């Protein structure tokens, strides 16, 4: 049987073409696992986020409006999460579980300290946007009391409305440290994570929390990944490509 002769400059293309196609298909398949912010919000609240902030880390849900149900880790915002599970937050601190104080004055006898002070409810913390006086120079710190596990999603790449979030597991808060406004502890934390500027100075006016997250192995066994429905652009009332193209032509006066 006669064999087909392939020119030398075409041989490499024939070999690499299938690999390129396979790589593309794997990328497309991987991308389908990503979620949009509004899909996650709709899953937990049963409605579109509307004008709600899209850069908040801690979130509640319709079933658990006063507790932590979901954590969104935005790209570049929490560099210490990968190595130590540390998340820095100043919004929705009232959703965090209660903690027990472990102040410097009673580090040698933590049991007496915890019995005397009792748990500190995170719901008693000030809301974001309300500057507080420097009345607590020592940060409140301690283990988190028992609470329900919550989902954590990480942002794979920056995108305002596109598919960029991926579910990474069920977690619990293992430890909390509350940093009061305008304190040395807060200044050290801000210096270690951000450069000095207007946003840095404004951050000094707010209460912050250093939250250590740990994966909940039991919840990972008992619970599965949330079944979050995909919402396409046309379902959201958005315009598809053809509609946008037609609108651009009308504005330009072209046909």
pLDDT confidence of 162, banded at 50, 70, 90?
A: confident
CB-based contacts of 214, cutoff 8 Å, min separation 6: 85, 171, 172, 173, 174
Per-residue 3-state assignment (H helix, E strand, C coil) for 194-253: CCCCHHHHHHCCCCEEEEEEEECHHHHHHCCCCCCCCCCHHHHCCCCHHHHHHHHHHHHC
For 101, counting Cβ atoms within 10 Å of its Cβ (0-12 exposed, 13-18 middle, 19+ buried), the class is buried
Higher pLDDT, 226 or 244: 226
The residue with tokens 């986020």 is 49
Instruction: Tell me what pLDDT residue 76 has.
Output: 87
Position 114 scores a pLDDT of 44
Q: Which residue has the tokens 């937050």?
A: 89
Per-residue pLDDT at 187 exceeds 50: yes
User: How many other β-carbons are positioned within 10 Å of the β-carbon of residue 77?
Assistant: 16
Average pLDDT over residues 234-243: 46
pLDDT tens-digit series, residues 79-117: 899 999 999 999 999 999 987 655 554 554 444 444 444
Q: For residue 177, is it left (φ>0), alpha (ψ between -120 and 50) or beta?
A: beta
Helix (H) or strand (E) holding 72: strand 70-73
Rounded CA-CA distance 73/91 in Å is 13
């Amino acid at each position: 049987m006669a064999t087909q002769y392939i020119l030398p400059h075409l041989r490499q293309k024939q070999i690499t073409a299938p690999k390129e196609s396979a790589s593309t298909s794997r990328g497309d398949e991987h991308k389908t696992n990503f979620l949009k912010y509004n899909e996650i919000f709709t899953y937990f609240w049963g409605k579109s986020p509307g004008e709600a902030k899209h850069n908040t880390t801690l979130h509640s849900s319709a079933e658990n409006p006063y507790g932590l149900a979901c954590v969104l880790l935005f790209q570049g915002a929490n560099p210490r999460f990968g190595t130590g599970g540390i998340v820095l937050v100043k919004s929705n601190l009232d959703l965090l579980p209660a903690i027990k104080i472990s102040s410097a004055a009673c580090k040698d006898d933590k049991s007496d300290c915890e019995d005397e002070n009792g748990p500190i409810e995170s719901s008693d913390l000030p809301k974001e946007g309300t500057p507080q006086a420097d009345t607590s120079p020592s940060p409140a710190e301690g283990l988190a009391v028992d609470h329900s596990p919550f989902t954590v999603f990480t942002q794979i790449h920056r995108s305002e409305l596109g598919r960029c979030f991926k579910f990474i597991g069920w977690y619990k808060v293992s430890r909390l440290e509350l940093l009061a406004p305008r304190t040395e502890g807060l200044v050290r934390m801000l210096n270690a994570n951000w450069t000095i500027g207007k946003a840095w100075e404004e951050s000094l006016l707010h209460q912050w929390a250093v939250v250590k997250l740990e994966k909940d192995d039991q919840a990972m066994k008992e619970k599965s990944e949330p079944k979050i429905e995909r919402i396409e652009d046309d379902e959201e009332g958005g315009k598809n490509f053809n509609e946008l193209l037609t609108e651009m032509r009308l504005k330009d006066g072209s046909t």
